[in-house]
Chain A
Amino acid sequence: MKDKSDQELMELIVQEHRPAFEELYDRYIKLIYSYALKAMSGDKEKTKEIVQQVFLRIWVAKQHYDSDKGQLVNWLITVTRNISIDYIRKEKKLAEKQQKAILHDSIEMSGYTLRDADNQLTKMEIEEAKSKLSEEQRRLITLLYWGGYSLLEIAEFENQKIGTIKSRLHQSLKRLRYYLGTEGGMTDDKKM
């Protein structure tokens, strides 16, 4: 099993091959666990629930992974984030029907396309880049990415128009990418 590629593992998992599933666990549990632990603000009991849900979804809904859309690691992060945010929103009793629908559907979106596994970033690099953002840009990203708040909710907190928040996010991400110095990010973003 150890010499199988991610793609080969997923094909075996589709055929309900349990050893392949366990290999997938061994390969990615550290990433998924660490991510979920942060999303759950360090609560280990909740993190266990999230990890269980993530692997259940991988086993039951593996047809959702589409290798054309990107690497498995990015899909796994997307799934983990969706489940974590679903959990957070339920806890906040903000789990209105519409939001649930958005979250379940968003697994199919192409949010995991572009991360390059061979060029993995470190927490240090991210922290460095984040430090270049303004206070309100950092707050926006934290609330949105980790806090489980929607753009509309954040607009309400901040007493801003939704369009303002959207464009603030746009700017924040561009700046972040600029300071991360990812490939091709230097030329057209100089103005930021």
Chain B
Amino acid sequence: MTKKCEQLVDYLTGELKKEECQDFEYHLSQCQSCSSDLKQLQEAWSALSFDVEEADVPPELKSEVMDYVFSDKKTKDSQENGFTTIYSKWKNRMKQHFKPLASTIIAILFIVVTVLVYQNIQLHQALSEMEKPTDSTVNVIRTVKLQSVITSSDAQGYAAVVENENGRELIVNLNQLPMPEGEQTYQVWLLNDGNRKNAGTFRPAANGKGVITFPLPDKNYTFGNIGITLEPDANGTKPRGKKVVGTTL
């Protein structure tokens, strides 16, 4: 009598687990006493099934049993193992994990995030289009200080040559200019080897500030000094009035 032998009754009544059952069957093949005992006990055990009153089987039972076994649902349930089953299992599992309210909130959040990302992309594009013109670099080629050449004025300022993608341009910026009278205007002249080039006329604002920009003919155009004269009107092609501002030496 070993410890294994104690499982005989459990084996007989079907209370062993599958693995224990296999182990015990091996034991049976080794243990003479258990296997002969089992034989006897099984005779009695299976005799118990005769302790039954013979009953009349209802005639409609056969069709009910056949319908049950052969209905689509049953045979499918027990045999189908295809994609749809896996999908519906997955769906059920998801349903268990996420309550309807949570799912709705997640869906709404997802939509909101999508809209925001889309708007952000649009905004970014619009912004980068606006930035494009200023994108082009502006280089300052040359700066020149300007100062009054007459004692009656404190005018001063600067001129600069800048280069952008459209070419070169002269900017003249002056402060504390004496206000011109009547038709009088200030006129800018570029001096180059004794030639003068008219670079435009302007009238300063009431506070004495005056700014003028003038596109230079091409990249190779150079000039030496700048002179600004006070002209009787804006129509001159040669300096007629006196020079009031010039390049600082």
Contacts and interface: CB of A to CB of B under 8 A. Distances in A.
A79 B66 CA distance: 18
Given A35-B52, A112-B46, A180-B43, 9 more contacts: A25-B66, A55-B68, A108-B18, A109-B14, A123-B51, A169-B13, A173-B44, A177-B40, A185-B40
26 contacts: A34-B52, A34-B54, A51-B61, A52-B65, A55-B68, A56-B69, A74-B46, A77-B49, A98-B17, A110-B42, A113-B42, A123-B51, A123-B54, A126-B47, A145-B45, A145-B48, A151-B9, A151-B10, A170-B8, A170-B9, A170-B37, A173-B44, A176-B48, A180-B47, A182-B47, A185-B40
Contacts of B53: 34, 37-38, 123
B15 A151 contact: yes
B6 interface: yes
A32 B46 CA distance: 14
Given A111-B12, A114-B39, A166 B6 contact: yes
Contact of B14 (A74, A102, A173): A102
Contacts of A37: 52-53, 55
Interface of A: 18, 21-22, 25-26, 29-30, 33-35, 37-38, 44, 48, 51-52, 55-56, 59-60, 74, 77, 81-82, 98, 101-103, 105-106, 108-115, 120-123, 125-127, 129-130, 141, 144-145, 150-151, 163, 166, 169-170, 173-174, 176-177, 180, 182, 185, 189
A109 B11 contact: yes
A101 B17 contact: yes
B6 A81 contact: no
Please name the 3 residue pairs, one residue from A and one from B, whose CB atoms are nearest each other, closest first. A106-B14, A177-B44, A173-B44
Nearest to A82: B14
B74 interface: yes
B182 interface: no
Contact of A108 (B8, B21, B57, B61): B21
Given A34-B52, A182-B43, A48 B61 contact: yes
Contacts of B74: 56
Contacts of B65: 25, 51-52, 55
Interface of B: 6, 8-18, 21, 25, 37, 39-55, 57-58, 61-62, 64-66, 68-70, 74-75, 78-79
B64 A52 contact: yes
A29 B57 contact: yes
A60 B78 CA distance: 7
A35 B66 contact: no
Contacts of B18: 101, 105, 108
Contacts of A109: 11, 14, 16, 21
Given A112-B46, A174-B41, A52 B51 contact: no
B50 A120 contact: yes
B64 to A, nearest CB: 6
Given A174-B41, A176-B44, A59 B49 contact: no
Contacts of B70: 18
Nearest to A39: B52
Most buried by B among A34, A98, A125: A34
Given A77-B49, A109-B21, A180 B12 contact: no
Contact of A77 (B8, B42, B46): B46
Contacts of B9: 151, 166, 169-170
Contact of B57 (A22, A30, A130, A170): A30
Contacts of B10: 151, 166
Contacts of A110: 25, 42
Contacts of B16: 102, 105-106, 109
A121 B50 contact: yes
Nearest to A173: B44
B57 A126 contact: no
A30 B156 CA distance: 125
Nearest to A78: B14
Contacts of B45: 111, 145, 173
Most buried by A among B11, B51, B55, B74: B51
